[in-house]
Structure 1
Amino acid sequence: MIGITDIEAAARRIADHVVRTPTAPSPGLTALLGVPVAAKLELLQRTGSFKARGATAKLLSLSEAERAAGVVAVSGGNHGIALAVMAAALEVKATVVMPRTAPARSVELAERAGASVRLTEGMDSAFELMLRLRDEGLTLVHPFDDPVVIAGQGTVGLEFAEDAEELTDVLVSIGGGGLIAGVAAALRARRPRVRVWGVETEGAEAMSAALRAGGPLPVAVSSLVTTLSAPSVSRLTYDHVSALVEEVLVVPDREAVRGCLDLAGHAKVWAEPAAGCLLPAARQVAARVGAGARLGLVVCGGNAAPGDLFGWARRFGLL
């Protein structure tokens, strides 16, 4: 299990390379949800998401031989952007494998940063190609199955614990589970009474399926939220979630997109569906907790192009 000392060490290591993003009370979300809400604004992070933290922590931990070999990662968008940008900043050659369903803007940003981008037909085949390139000699920077990466993501929780006022419940979206594993570990150490809730979208339910089965297993991926669409979680992230997380809630894609519109309208932030899914889940948590609930939302990223978001909104009849 990742401990608070691992997360504190990661915070010191990456401090000069990433942004300490603001934690702010949101009057708009408080009015919308009927309970006090504070948001950790990771969409203001370098590269537009929390992924810069874990990628940087891993890159800074590599040996000279590992750096010289070049790095490889698989991504539905944000991890690839983060690795491409941070690897370029640290003068390491990067290869990013993405499914063709990844947002065109994510592919463009990774290529613009200097990474070699390899596209596959789906997320399953993207993971397969990543492992093949690792076996051919590239250094793997896994998006979630790595304790160094998880400790880097855990710095989000460390800052949230230090900067937020009183909280009862924190909501974190789940793809492969690296973010929630790190955040839950940090909060358990610093705010042990705070409950942590995970959020997935329908068709990207790798953690929910793992919890039902008693361990990681492959799942079919069909959600439009590619940044949450891991084909399975890892034993490492599963162990953290099963031990530290209250429950994993699953919301429809439509509600995740509506959550993006609500975040724009009420919180005045432009977020992607991986963050938008927190709002319908927050309504459930607020109703279940009742009076006295004080919610924290990890607004994990903002790398959604306007055309994509408005296109999804029109598809679901939200505009």
Structure 2
Amino acid sequence: MLIGIDEIEAAARRVAGHVVRTPAVDSPGLSGLLGAPVTAKLELLQRTGSFKARGAVAKLEALTEAERAAGVVAVSGGNHGIALAVMAGALHVKATVVMPRSAPARAVRIAEEAGAAVRVADDMAEAFSLTERLRDEGSTLVHPFDDPVVIAGQGTVGAEFAADAGEITDVLVSVGGGGLISGVAAALHHLRPGVRVWGVETEGAEAMSRALRAGRPVPVELSSIVSTLSAPAVSEITHEHVSTLVEDVLVVQDSEAVRGVLDLAEHAKLWAEPAAGCLLPAARRVVERVGPDARLGLVICGGNAAPADVRDWAQRFGLG
């Protein structure tokens, strides 16, 4: 089930002209903060504000005419829904997005403004259930991570990083359902085979780390504030990629992820969301584990955080 470089290169051809080749930049500020050289892949500069545009358009471009005509449906904690709504609108495909009530109001508004019909469920588990029902009623499912075409689309992040970054030894990627890390790990496995890949989750959104302990995907109860990482379970295909290609999945607290948002703003001049902020505390642990020769790559997955939300989180956790 592992994605190969041929699938990632095919996805790159599909997304060409639709997405931005985001820069990979050395960050003196983060290097000083973390005590190791840091190169950041800036997917927060991507269309729709996150890497999700890649997988969404890769899947949309791979659909048959009948699948397009049926309209597409997706479940999302925010970023996948935004990406699918915007990219489907650009390709004149009818889209429905199902989000939990915990999804950022900004994400709901952007999806609606892009022309998608937005359905709101009480929680993420109910959102997945409603999405499956809409699929069974005839809509074409664009799953955020349980789809090899979507994973290959996210893998274009890793292919670009491999081509554009200098010497890196360890790459950190945040994990929700595992689509991004699966694609990035597959690309680096082929293009930078000596590089270690590490996943990062937040407490209360630990679907992948629990799957690794269980040896299979298992349902988890979600309590993290980080809705964009809050998958109720990973998939068989993402579990296989991570268990085969990823060094480890580290879990950090929500407060650490929010502290990471503030540190990214202060030290890297990047406005990121907690799904990216969680990388910084995990990066310190990676440096401790691998030693002083570490050269870090950070996939800054998205920047869709409202200033009011960041302020409220900082106050909640006493971060100032």
Name the amino acid aligned to 2:188. L
Q: How far apart are 1:77 and its partner, in Å?
A: 0.2
Query: What TM-score, normalized by structure 2, do the two folds share?
Result: 0.99
Aligned to 1:111: 112
Structure 1 stretch displaced more, 253-262 or 288-297: 288-297
Q: Deviations over 1:239-261 (max 9, x none)?
A: 00000000000000000000000
Off by >3 Å, runs of 4+ in structure 1: none
**Is residue 7 from structure 1 mapped to residue 17 from structure 2 by the alignment?**
no
Q: For 1:19, what is the secondary structure of its paired residue?
A: coil
Provide the residue aligned with 1:288 in structure 2: 289
Task: Please give the secondary structure, in 2, of the residue aligned with 1:109.
Answer: helix
Aligned residue in 2 for 1:247: 248
Provide the C-alpha distance between the structure 2 equivalents of 1:114 and 1:155, rounded to a whole number of angstroms: 27
Alignment identity in percent? 76
**The residue matched to 2:289 in structure 1 has which SS?**
helix
SS at match of 2:125: helix
Q: CA deviation at 1:232?
A: 0.1
- 2:46 maps to amino acid: Q
Q: Partner of 1:128 in structure 2? A: 129
Structure 2: runs of 5 or more not aligned: none
SS at match of 1:296: strand
Post-superposition offset of 1:287: 1.2
Q: CA deviation at 1:290?
A: 1.1
**Structure 1: distance between partners of 2:170 and 2:9:** 22
Task: Report the alpha carbon displacement of residue 181 of structure 1 after superposing the two structures with TM.
Answer: 0.2
C-alpha deviation, 1:218, in angstroms: 0.5
Alignment partner of 1:67 is 2:68: yes
Quote the offset at 1:205 in angstroms. Answer: 0.2
2:46 corresponds to which residue?
Answer: 45
TM-score for both structures, normalised by structure 1: 1.00
Pair 1:57 & 2:58 matched: yes
Matched residue, 1:93? 94
Deviation per residue, 1:259-287 (Å, 9 max, x gap):
00000000000000000000000010011
Equivalence for 1:28: 29
One-letter amino acid of the counterpart of residue 249, structure 2? V
Instruction: Measure, in 2, the Cα distance between the counterparts of 1:34 and 1:120.
Output: 43
Aligned length: 319
SS at match of 2:151: helix
CA distance in 1, matches of 2:245, 2:150: 18
Amino acid at match of 1:19: V
Cross-structure match for 1:204: 205
Give 1:12 deviation, angstroms: 1.2
Matched to 1:117, the amino acid is V
How far the C-alpha of 1:198 sits from its partner, in A, is: 0.2
For 2:36 and 2:65, locate their aligned partners in 1 and report how far apart those are by CA, in whole Å: 50
Say yes or no: does 1:260 pair with 2:261: yes
Q: How far 1:13 sits from its partner (Å)?
A: 1.3
Per the alignment, residue 155 of structure 1 pairs with 156
Q: Secondary structure at the match of 2:299?
A: strand
Counterpart in 2 of 1:143? 144
Q: Give the distance between the partners of 1:272 and 1:214, measured in 2 at CA.
A: 30
By how many angstroms is 1:291 displaced? 1.5
SS in 2 for 1:249: strand
Give the residue type in structure 2 aligned to 1:125: E
Deviations 1:37-81 (A, max 9, x none): 000000000000000000000000001110000000000000000
SS at match of 2:232: coil
Q: CA RMSD in A?
A: 0.4
